[in-house]
Amino acid sequence: MKLMQLLTEIEKPCAFVPTMGALHAGHQSLIAQARELCDEVVVSVFVNPLQFEDKEDLAKYPRTPEKDAELAAAAGATILWTPSFEDIYPVQITKLSAGELGDQFEGVHRPGHFDGVLTVVHRLFELVRPKYAIFGEKDFQQLFLITNMAAQLHPEIEIIAAPTVRETSGLAMSSRNVRLDKDARIAADVISKVLRAATESDSVAQARKELAELSVNRDFRLDYAEIIDETTFEVANNETQQARAIVAGWINGVRLIDNMAMKRALVQV
Ligand code: PAF
């Protein structure tokens, strides 16, 4: 695997996995999926300050460069790119806007976050010029916004959605999980359990009832839980064809998000 600080030239069509480092098995599954698509797989590691509305969160974000290099190579990355702030933002930053959806769900709790995500992903796409770019379904709102941004600004890039990788407990893999102590890890199981129950429901009302469990859980401080239409990100109704339960909240000072697709067709009740 080539290690690059400044990306100059990629000779072959590549599949791209943008990350903020602190790689884990979830990232490795994205990289393995990328490798199935292309022989050249570029993984970037860049902790983008623009998407952190909370400076403390940015400072606390885990950084594990040696382990990242090992895990990326083991999963099939051919280029590990670790740009500096100046590599990404050499001149004045032109910020993209995530529009109205950027202020909903995650956006209510992380103002400006998605503007920062879209701005960096757009810059990364300009620099890497991949054929494919792979993003995890775990950050479903991010995936939705990036897919729309790419359709407008980078129609030549195919955005691939990769399924969420879970620990045996059901907890969605995340770089933030390293900040959960033993008790918090056990408490966090409630998220996937409630999501599973909600997604077995056959009406939005029933699914919401299941999600409400999270608002009374003593260990979990809920930011939001909702059933949305995956194709529009609007709140779902029983006519919605592709619905998904989305959840975010806090366990012991660590913010966790997760989502699952509804398992059955919704029925009018
Ligand atoms: O999901 C992430 O790790 C980040 O939001 C991304 C897409 C790499 C942009 O910084």
Q: 106 near 146, Cβ under 8 Å? A: no
Q: Dihedral, CA atoms, 214, 242, 255, 167, nearest 10 degrees?
A: 90
Q: Exposed/middle/buried for 228, CB within 10 Å: 0-12, 13-18, 19+?
A: buried
Whether 144 maps to a domain, the answer reads yes
In angstroms, the CA 173 to CA 196 distance is: 16
- H or E stretch including 224? strand 220-229
Helix axes 204-216, 182-199, angle to 10 degrees: 160
Mutate-to-test residue for ligand 1 from 31, 50, 51, 165, highest number of ligand atoms within 8 A of CB: 51
Are 208 and 156 found together in one domain? no
Beta strands 243-251; 254-261: pairing state: antiparallel
Query: How many other CB atoms are there within 10 angstroms of residue 202's CB atom?
Result: 15
Pick from 114, 121, 160 the residue to mutate for probing ligand 1's pocket: most ligand atoms within 8 Å of its CB: 121
Which pLDDT does position 269 carry in this prediction?
58
pLDDT in tens, 146-169: 999 999 999 999 999 999 999 999
Atom of ligand 1 nearest to the CA of 20: 3
Shortest-distance Cα residue to atom 8 of ligand 1: 19
Q: Is residue 27 annotated as part of the catalytic site, yes or no?
A: yes
Tell me how far apart the alpha carbons of residues 113 and 110 are, in angstroms, rounded to a whole number: 5
Q: Which domain holds residue 238?
A: 175-259
Are residues 228 and 128 located together in one domain of the fold?
no
Tokens of 95: 């910020």
Strand order in the sheet with 79-81: 2-4, 79-81, 40-45, 14-19, 132-136, 158-162
The preferred substitution site among 47, 142, 173, 177 for testing ligand 1, maximizing ligand atoms within 8 Å of CB, is 142
**Do residues 127 and 238 both lie within one domain?**
no
Are residues 114 and 239 part of one domain? no
Rounded to the nearest whole angstrom, what is the distance from the C-alpha of residue 201 to the centroid of ligand 1?
31
Given 162, 190, 217, the domain boundary residue is 162
CA dihedral 233, 213, 260, 192 (to 10 degrees): 150
Q: What is the distance in A from the centroid of ligand 1 to the CA of 49?
A: 11
Say which CATH number the domain at 63 has: 3.40.50.620
Whether residues 136 and 72 share a domain: the answer is: yes
Give the list of residues 6+ apart from residue 100 with CB closer than 8 angstroms, or none. none
CB proximity list for 204: less than 8 A, separation 6 or greater = 227, 236, 237, 238, 240, 243, 266
| 67 and 129 together in one domain | yes
Pairing of strands 79-81, 132-136: unpaired
Which residue numbers in the chain have pLDDT < 70? 8-9, 268-269
Rounded to the nearest angstrom, the distance between the alpha carbon of 265 and the centre of ligand 1 is: 31
Please report the pLDDT score of residue 7 as a whole number.
75
pLDDT score at 268: 63
Domain membership of residue 169 (yes or no) is no
Does residue 206 share a domain with residue 73?
A: no
Using CB atoms within 10 Å of the CB of residue 131, give its burial: 0 to 12 exposed, 13 to 18 middle, 19+ buried. Answer: middle
Nearest CA owner, ligand 1 atom 3: 19
Residue 175 CA: nearest ligand 1 atom is 3
* pLDDT for residue 5: 72
154, 118 contact by CB (below 8 A):
no
pTM score, two decimals?
0.96
Q: To the nearest 10°, report the CA torsion of 176, 179, 181, 184.
A: -40
In the chain, the number of structural domains is 2
Q: How far is the CA of 134 from the centre of ligand 1 (A)?
A: 11
User: Which residue among the candidates 27, 113, 122, 154 is catalytic per the annotation?
Assistant: 27
Q: Three-state SS across 68-123?
A: HHHHHHHHCCCEEECCCHHHHCCCCCCCCCCCHHHHCCHHHHCCCHHHHHHHHHHH
Task: Spell out which residues line ligand 1, taking CB within 6 angstroms.
Answer: 18-20, 48, 51, 117, 120-121, 139, 142
The closest residue, in CA terms, to atom 5 on ligand 1 is 117
